[in-house]
Structure 1
């Protein structure tokens, strides 16, 4: 069972429909028991970092999520959900994230059109493997759909599976052990996005 975490700040239904279309048993989860009894977790997210962290803390699910991740349960963060995995965000202030991954969330330079919205390419990074893992069967220069004004400045480049080029190279897909992140919306990214979601589902043991 894949649990999509409902904390009031995510686009749940489109992710749910994409996973069920792929044949994965999926639920929208809002309780500790649902999270503890799942095989994998997905943390979606839209909106502002501070508001999302407040919703997440108010949900009472943070401790359960952290414990499950610590025990090795696969977790996927999508868009803002991926950014929440990092240590800190500078979106309209300075805010602490979940701290699963090392890095900070910063705004695009003013010389770039913000938000970064639309289709952009995937460029293989140091953690890319075309034969296994989250990047399996994803070729060079495939495209996915982004909507964001802030991006991750990762401290560990070896965790990056794919970059995307938007005036700067930004992490598009990241992975460290059982922790996975996608800056774009895979559920809105046609066949490439569905392949990435399928890869995540197949990583669950």
Structure 2
């Protein structure tokens, strides 16, 4: 079973619908025991880092997410679910996050409309199983004004250009994340979720 974490500020319904379409066994939960025993964990998200961390803290989910990641459970963060993995976010101030990945969340540069909304190319870096069967340069759907900036090499699985070339997907061992929304990205988004489901061993 894949646990889709409902902390009160995530886009869970469309994620569950997309997972159902690819034959995944998934449930929406905020129960720490369910999350600890899940085959995989997906944390979707919208909004601001401070609010997301406040919700995670309020529901007692900060420690359990760190524990499941440390235990090797496959984790997929979508949008804010990826950003909160980093050390700090500079969205509306400076806010500590989960600290799983060294680095910061920064605002996209000016000179183009913000937020960055719509389809954009995702250029793969290396060969992550998260992108198995997905062509390099495939389009995915974005809605964001901030991007992740890893402080160490080896985390970036894909990049996208929008005012600068930024990390649009991360992957190392069991920890993965996308700045784009695979649940809103049509064929290739479903393929990415199917890949994660298979990595977690939670497909039907």
Aligned to 1:116: 116
Q: Deviations over 1:129-179 (max 9, x none)?
A: 2xx611111112110000001111112342211101112111111112110
Distance 1:143 1:200 in 2: 18
> After superposition, where does 1:1-205 map in structure 2 within 5 Å?
1-125=1-125, 128-129=126-127, 133-205=129-201
Unaligned stretches of 5+ in structure 1?
none
Distance 1:63 1:155 in 2: 23
1:95 shift after superposition:
0.2
Q: Does the residue aligned with 1:203 lie in a helix, a strand or coil?
A: helix
1:37 shift after superposition:
2.0
Distance 1:164 1:145 in 2: 11
Q: How many residues align?
A: 201
Q: Does the residue aligned with 1:134 lie in a helix, a strand or coil?
A: helix
Distance 2:109 2:163 in 1: 9
Segments of 4+ moved more than 6 angstroms: none
Unaligned stretches of 5+ in structure 2?
none
TM-score (structure 1 length as normaliser): 0.95
Greater relative contact order structure (CA < 8 Å, 6+ sep): 2
Give me the CA root mean square deviation: 1.1
